[in-house]
Amino acid sequence: MLQTFRPYVRKFPQDGSWLRCALEGAWKPAMSILASIVDAVEAHGRFVERQVARVRNDPKWRDQILKRWRTLRAGASNVTTPTGLKLPRLALPQTNESGEIARYLYGEGLPGEFPFVNGAYPEMYLEGDSAAGISNSKSQIANRKSQIVNPKSKVANRKSEEPTRLFAGLGLADDTNQRFHYLTRQQRSIRLSTAFDGPTLYGLDSDAEGVFGKIGEGGVAIDTVEDMERLYAGFPLGDEHFSVSMTINGPAPVILAMYVAAARRRFGPDTVAKLRGTIQADILKEVQAQNEIIFPLDASLRFLTDMVEFTITHMPRWYPISISGYHIAEAGATPVQQAAYTLSNGFAYVEWFRKRGLDVNQFAPRLSFFLDCGLDIEYLALARVCRKFWAVGMRDVFGANTKGQLFKLHTQTSGRSLIAQEFKNNVTRTAVELMLAYINATNSCHSNSADEPFTTPNEEYVRLAAQAQAILLEESGLFKFMMNALSGSPGMKIVERALEEGILNEFREIDRLGGVRAAIEHRYQRSQIQAAAHRYEQQINDSTRPIIGLNRYRDAGDKAPAVKVIRTPRQKKQLQLDRLMKFKRRHRAETGRALDELSQVVESGGNVFAQLIHTVEHCSLGQITGRLHELVGHYRPSV
């Protein structure tokens, strides 16, 4: 049905082709790239207006547009809701005015059509049964060959994977594995997301000096490939219905190498090409906001690019980077800053990978994005604008094909919006944020737990958070019957225009400073985030930003809740040390040789990630990062 209009939606004339020619070959500063992106976005806007004027002034072209619009409407399949209401599967603007039709088709696009404002793909959340929208099928996930889900669970018969991604990380690998199995008992497709503890995030072993108290706190402790095997035990790593996301950056290549090695151990070398998932590995965001970069920036980018190069060749279903605005927002950035810094970082990565000689049409389809979704009105349209900017920039500046133009998005509800006072209100906050995320057609989503201001989420609240998505997508009729049902309101369009101008202004300022790398050296992004965070706290303190239960409608008798705080027991921390010690003892004969071979690859300019897959068989995380520090040094921020 969506194909019927495609021949009539002409591509934007390639006015920017000279830019691509100029950028071919030699590295050009990111300054010229961002300036080109701004020009391309503005040129696309002018192109849309020309098409609007054309259909209004050219009767022949107007007749063609209207004819195809009627065909598009007539071709939409229908669904009958449980109450008997018949609806089209795709919501389209209710207009026959040719100019507005052209504005919609060229300026927004159908779901899955350039510039992807209404979604990267068509029919993302729709249920497969068009007769009633609700399936009575008793088919079970357990009937799949993987048989990884509770065989008593009954799930809807939907064609696509549900977008819910389940996030966990606590204690030792065994503890997180148990939580994963608990969370996925009723999932049709298993989409896990993994949080790591502090020592792991900084590339330290659990036996490093001064980290004992942090083992397994706020995330899972991973020291060796054996820990990685325990972490995902019982899950079919190469199954088409299984994927995993890993939230780690500085030592990301080592952790992914452990995952690959663990998969090879369990399922054989042929499994590597089947692995699905994402690793964050966003080094620029770490410098700007989160501070978990452990190697110098150039070395970090080299290790990242080695990983990208390996995965696009040998792991075609893997996303080797998740370009992340979430931590930028959590550090205090405004929604405009989150979008602008995330997009500009993404374009900087594209140019960096091109500098290494990678083909944009090979690596661009394997780039993914990660955004925060809070309660500010900007989140009504933030992802929609990001999809448009990314698509226009990738097509008209970098010459990427359609797959390379897609802004593939994971969204997480805001952690910063959760508060300790009357914390059960956090359930409502997260529900509103989920609604905004799905209005923005996110590809996957994680919902935070209400008790996170106090502790690693307990099973009660993490289950409530996951089921909030099921209620929205499966119980309510807001998304499962009709794609695009809530898009395109007047208010949404006003917000979109304001966001576009704000993001372009940020691009212009970063460009003025010399591009993303130069702006980082000027501490521009960090200083802007800090200023925004300060304003946010001031607004809470003076009550111009209402926070229910904190500075408005607070219950004077409210007492600190008796929330069970999840901590890793001392004996489990000792167990992690004992396991690590045994691993090092068993491999001490091979450790030195494995590290020396890694050093040779680093020094000779070889692919470090390909070698790490062998190194992790005999060396721990801390041993590997220690050797890499000897070779390339430590990260030192510019002053």
Q: How many CB atoms lie within 10 A of CB 549?
A: 17
Amino acid of residue 60: K
Reduced to 3 states (helix: H, G, I; strand: E, B; else coil), residue 593 is: helix
Q: Is residue 629 part of a domain?
A: no
pLDDT digits (tens, 9 = 90+) for 290-314: 889 999 999 999 999 999 999 999 9
Q: Is the residue at 613 inside a domain? A: no
**So what's the pLDDT on residue 458?**
87
Give the amino acid at 272: V
Are the C-beta atoms of 186 and 276 separated by less than 8 Å? no
> What distances in angstroms separate CA 412 from CA 118, 325, 406, one per listed residue?
19, 10, 19
Q: Answer whether residue 528 shows pLDDT above 90.
A: yes
C-alpha distances (whole Å) from 209 to each of 205, 213, 573 are 9, 10, 14
Which residues does 576 contact at the CB level (< 8 Å), separation at least 6? 172, 206, 215, 216, 221, 223
Instruction: Answer whether 360's CB lies under 8 Å from 400's CB.
Output: yes
Do 588 and 582 meet the contact criterion of CB atoms below 8 Å apart? Answer: no
Q: How many domains does the chain have?
A: 1
Q: What average pLDDT score do residues 581-599 get?
A: 98
> Which pLDDT band, with edges at 50, 70 and 90, does 442 fall under?
very high
Percent of the chain with pLDDT over 90: 83
Is residue 28 very low, low, confident or very high in pLDDT (cuts 50, 70, 90)? very low
First CA to last CA distance, the chain: 56
Nearest to 190 by CA among 236, 247, 259: 236
Q: Which domain holds residue 38?
A: 2-8+29-107
Contact 194, 244 (CB under 8 A): yes
When pLDDT is cut at 50, 70 and 90, the band that residue 137 belongs to is very low
More confident call, 141 vs 61: 61
Q: Which residue is associated with the tokens 């980018």?
A: 301
pLDDT of amino acid 566: 83
pLDDT at residue number 638: 66
Structure token pair of residue 333: 């950035």
Q: What pLDDT, on the 0 to 100 scale, is given for residue 432?
A: 98
- The b-or-e profile of 35-51 (16+ CB within 10 A means b, else e) is bbbbebbebbeebbeeb
Closest CA to 389 of 338, 354, 317: 338
pLDDT digits (tens, 9 = 90+) for 223-265: 999 999 999 999 999 999 999 999 999 999 999 999 999 999 9
In terms of Cβ atoms closer than 10 Å to its own Cβ (0-12, 13-18, 19+), residue 420 is: middle
Place of tokens 């279903």: 317
Q: Within a domain: residue 43?
A: yes
d(CA 159, CA 456): 33
Phi first, then psi: give them for residue 114, nearest 5 degrees: -55, 135
Instruction: Give the lowest-confidence range in 185-189, 415-419, 447-451.
Output: 185-189
Residue 231 near residue 138 (C-beta atoms within 8 A)? no
pLDDT confidence bin for 639, thresholds 50/70/90: low
Mean per-residue pLDDT, 608-636: 97
State the pLDDT at residue 637: 79
Q: Tokens representing 638?
A: 């510019």
Query: Which of 135-149, 189-203, 541-555 bottoms out in mean pLDDT, i.e. has the lowest?
Result: 135-149
Q: Determine the Cα–Cα distance for residues 147 and 254; give it in Å rounded to an integer.
A: 30
Instruction: Specify the range with the lowest mean pLDDT, choosing from 136-150, 310-324, 349-363, 587-601.
Output: 136-150
What would the pLDDT profile of 56-95 be if each residue is shown by its tens digit?
A: 999 999 999 999 999 999 998 999 999 999 999 999 999 9
Q: Is residue 64 part of a domain?
A: yes
Q: What is the mean pLDDT of the chain?
A: 90
Are 396 and 16 within 8 A, CB to CB? yes
More confident residue, 26 or 499: 499
Considering only 127-131, 313-317, 514-518, which range has the smallest mean pLDDT?
127-131
Of 37-41, 162-166, 472-476, 531-535, the poorest mean pLDDT is in: 162-166
Give the confidence band of 7 by pLDDT, cuts at 50, 70, 90.
very low
Farthest CA pair distance, the chain: 81
Within-domain flag for 53:
yes
Q: Is residue 14 part of a domain?
A: no
Return the residue matching tokens 């904190």.
550
Task: Say what the pLDDT of residue 553 is.
Answer: 95
- The candidate with the shortest Cα–Cα distance to 82, out of 136, 126, 134, 158, is 134
Lowest mean per-residue pLDDT among 186-190, 442-446, 528-532: 186-190
Q: Is residue 438 part of a domain?
A: no
The pLDDT, as a whole number, for residue 448 is 95
Distance CA(404)–CA(407), nearest Å, equals: 8
Q: In the chain, pLDDT over 70 holds for what percent of residues?
A: 90
Q: Answer yes or no: is pLDDT of 147 > 50.
A: no
Q: Is the dihedral of CA 574, 575, 576, 581 positive or negative?
A: positive
Average pLDDT on 307-330 reads 98
Please give the average per-residue pLDDT across 386-403, as a whole number.
98
**What mean pLDDT do residues 348-363 have?**
97
Task: Answer whether residue 191 shows pLDDT above 50.
Answer: yes
Query: Is residue 19 pLDDT above 80, yes or no?
Result: no
* pLDDT surpasses 70 at 445: yes
Q: Which among 455, 305, 445 is positioned nearest to 366, based on CA atoms?
A: 305
- pLDDT score at 634: 96
Contacts for 574 with CB less than 8 Å, ≥ 6 apart: none
In a domain? residue 80: yes
pLDDT over 90 (residue 204): yes
pLDDT confidence tier of residue 29, bands split at 50, 70 and 90: very low
For 618, list phi and psi in degrees, rounded to 5: -125, -5
pTM, whole model, 2 decimals?
0.91
Distance, C-alpha 331 to centroid of its chain: 17
In this prediction, residue 468 carries a pLDDT of 95
Strands 242-247 and 321-324: unpaired
Residues 397-424 have pLDDT tens digits of 999 999 999 999 999 999 999 999 999 9
Q: What pairing do the DSSP bridges indicate for beta strands 78-80 and 86-88?
A: antiparallel
Q: What is the pLDDT of residue 32?
A: 81
Measured CA to CA in angstroms, residue 435 lies from 153, 279, 460, 473 at distances of: 26, 26, 21, 10
Q: What pLDDT was estimated at residue 160?
A: 63
Using CA atoms, how far apart are residues 555 and 605, in angstroms rounded to an integer? 62
- In Å, what is the CA distance from 65 to each residue of 7, 56, 92, 110? 11, 10, 14, 14
Residue 413's closest CA among 451, 450, 373, 453? 373
